[in-house]
A and B are shown apart, each in its own frame.
Chain A
Amino acid sequence: MTDLLLEPTTVPMETVYCMPQALGSQPTHYCPGCTHGVAHRLLAEALDELNLRERAILVAPVGCAVFAYQYFEMDGCEAPHGRAPAMATGIKRVQPENIVITYQGDGDLASIGAGEILHAAARGEAITVIFVNNAIYGMTGGQVAPTSLTGQRTVSSPFGREGVPLQMSELLSVLPGAAYIVRRSLHNPANIRKAKKAILTALKVQQAGLGFGMVELLSSCPTNWGLTPPQALQWIETNMLPAFPVGDYKVLDAVKEL
């Protein structure tokens, strides 16, 4: 036995898992169980696989992902609350050869930035939007968002949210400028794999110059939902999925051929 252990091993090692190059090694400030981290990882993996890191420019939002420009190992900037699609437009129009990505929360994209996202999609700006929908304002401590569920109790809707959640993927999908709009969820591995595939497709849509692309990701906020991380994932499945069905809302024929 001892001899065997000392035998030098010559079996070639294959890397099956490592940090994506597009993601830096510094720890993030996200809460335990928050799926912002999963979304970051998926985007970074997709950029690596398509070899786009050195061409990419990330526009970070105001929200919990405000530091995203620090976490990714690529050029980046940080937009005023909701204005990432306008900033991305400015960058992409000057440098169409770059891959320009916005990363936005639901308060950022669906509330204060509803105008900017609508018009960027309507113009068919060739940018990629990663839309992290957690049905609440995370960074400011859990206030109601336009994407909060009917009856959802938050610190600013203590009696339950009135009205119905704003469905941005459905809304934007009717615009001719939109080339690729899908909703995915991050609540379990099967859905995470589908989310990754969608992000890959969205980046290819931009590479091919087909128009505006957005991947909406249903995401957890255990801290402000007042749940444990496993409960939060369950909450996505039980409560968010019925209000925000995952699916493909706009896929141009040209996208299917990619």
Chain B
Amino acid sequence: MSRELLKGNVAIAEAALRAGMTAYFGYPITPQTELLEHLARRMPELGRTFLQAESEIAAINMVYGAACTGVRTMTSSSGPGISLMQEGMSYIAASDLPCVVVDVMRGGPGLGNILPSQGDYFQVTRSAGHGDYHPIVLAPASVQEAVDLTILAFDLADHYRHLVILAADGLIGQMMEPAELPPMRDLSDERPAYALTGAKGRAPRRIASFYLQAEAEEAYNLHIQARLARIRAAEQRSTEYFTEDAQLLVVGYGSAGRIALSAVQKLRAQGVPVGLFRPISLYPFPEVRLRQLAAQVSAILVVEMNAGQMLEDVRLTVAEHTPIHFYGRMGGAIPVPEEIENALLKLLPTEVLS
């Protein structure tokens, strides 16, 4: 397989269909529209289902229906559309159905703008809808990683029968980079044991999220919680740079993490002992590794393209004696490496600086 120059949105779309996505339903919204447009052409070419829905509410419920048939299915949107999908995502999660939702995050709140942001962190990691659950959330920092995590998203969704959100910021969606796409996966005709295919020669199958009795609903909730415990134990993902001897740690994901890396590299060249920890899974938050690193550094700087959302997870993870600082830009403003460098320099003890 060779590397091609690909736009993030197109790369995600192409990776999804190569992962065996059989049905896609979506609604146009910048900065994810190229994803929908790519699939509008490619899915029919492959004899698969593509439909531009009348709204994100309809799109997520079409995904819900397709997921009931046991095929790989996906939708994509950005903040305002993800807000409209909350109810459907909660139903899907409460029906133990796998599916993938791509959120190419833009500036908010409200209509906001179409510029890159990480403002949906709360929305996607906390529950993505009503009730007690978390989707699995993956955050790419390059076009190649967006491809790889799209494949992983489908695999994790099937493995756990769980909702997976690919949380890409607008920069990842819009930028062009060389990336290698995986080969086309064969579509198997086999459907999982829960799939609604018509009760021919077997007992009827039923998919719902309705438990009238408190005991039954609580038992179902415990079932979700047990699954989430398994996910937290097995699926924490992160990557790190210059952490071995780091005394200062930057924590950032997606584009913010990537920009922070430039700042860290520059300071390292000047002999400053700074490292970067980049979470890849936002849920489960990679707390095990972060806790280890936090024990070795004198301070942490969290960098995000929002007002400090992952910051809360860092605070929940790291013991109280490690000071946690924050640098963020909002509303589509992108931090430049110099801003992060300056924020880091302010945190350095004077003996390190001299």
Q: Which residues in A have some Cβ–Cβ distance to B below 8 Å?
A: 53-57, 59-60, 66-67, 69-70, 72-80, 83, 86-95, 98-99, 115-116, 118-119
Contact = CB atoms under 8 A, between A and B. Distances in A.
B210 A78 contact: yes
Contact of B55 (A54, A73, A80, A115): A115
Query: Chain A interface mostly helix, strand, loop or mixed?
Result: helix
A115 B62 CA distance: 14
A173 B25 CA distance: 26
B208 A93 contact: no
A86 B22 contact: no
B22 A94 contact: yes
B69 A95 contact: yes
B53 A53 contact: no
A115 B54 contact: yes
A55 B73 CA distance: 22
By Cβ-Cβ distance, the 8 closest A-B pairs, closest first, are A90-B65, A86-B61, A90-B62, A87-B65, A78-B208, A54-B200, A83-B61, A90-B66
Contact of B204 (A76, A88, A90, A119): A76
B199 A74 contact: yes
Interface core residue of A69, A87, A90, A98 (most chain B CB under 10 Å) = A90
Contacts of B199: 53-54, 73-75
A56 B206 contact: no
A66 B209 CA distance: 11
B44 to A, nearest CB: 12
A78 B91 CA distance: 9
Given A70-B206, A78-B207, A90-B65, A119 B54 contact: yes
A222 B105 CA distance: 50
A75 B204 contact: yes
Given A80-B87, A89-B51, A90-B25, A55 B65 contact: no
B54 A77 contact: no
17 contacts: A54-B200, A57-B196, A69-B208, A73-B204, A74-B199, A76-B204, A77-B196, A78-B209, A83-B61, A87-B65, A89-B51, A89-B58, A90-B65, A93-B51, A94-B66, A116-B57, A119-B58
A66 B210 contact: yes
Given A90-B61, A90-B62, A54 B198 contact: yes
A123 to B, nearest CB: 8
Given A74-B198, A75-B197, A83 B206 contact: no
A215 B232 CA distance: 48
Given A59-B65, A90-B63, 4 more contacts: A54-B201, A75-B204, A77-B65, A119-B54
A93 B23 contact: yes
Given A90-B23, A90-B64, A69 B206 contact: yes
A79 B64 contact: yes
A213 B64 CA distance: 22
Contacts, number: 129
A88 B64 CA distance: 9
Contact of B61 (A55, A60, A66, A79): A79
Contacts of B73: 90, 94
A60 to B, nearest CB: 8
B205 interface: yes
A253 B201 CA distance: 36
Interface core residue of A54, A66, A115 (most chain B CB under 10 Å) = A54
Contacts of B282: none
A77 B22 contact: no
A93 B66 contact: yes
B237 to A, nearest CB: 30
Contacts of A89: 51, 58, 62, 65
Contacts of A80: 61, 64, 87-88, 91
Interface core residue of B55, B65, B201, B204 (most chain A CB under 10 Å) = B65
Contacts of A60: 208
Contacts of B204: 72-76
Interface in B223-272: none
Given A88-B65, A89-B62, A94 B23 contact: yes
A86 B88 CA distance: 11
B68 A91 contact: yes
B49 interface: yes
Contacts of A95: 69, 197-198
Given A59-B65, A91-B66, A86 B209 contact: no
A83 B88 contact: yes
Contact of B53 (A66, A69, A77, A86): A86
B243 to A, nearest CB: 45
B196 A91 contact: yes
Contacts of A54: 198-201
Nearest to B92: A80
A79 B68 CA distance: 11
A208 B68 CA distance: 24
Contact of B68 (A66, A70, A77, A83): A77
Contact of B198 (A69, A75, A83, A115): A75
A90 B88 CA distance: 13
B197 A77 contact: no
A14 to B, nearest CB: 28
A248 B201 CA distance: 37
Given A74-B204, A80-B88, A93-B23, A87 B49 contact: no
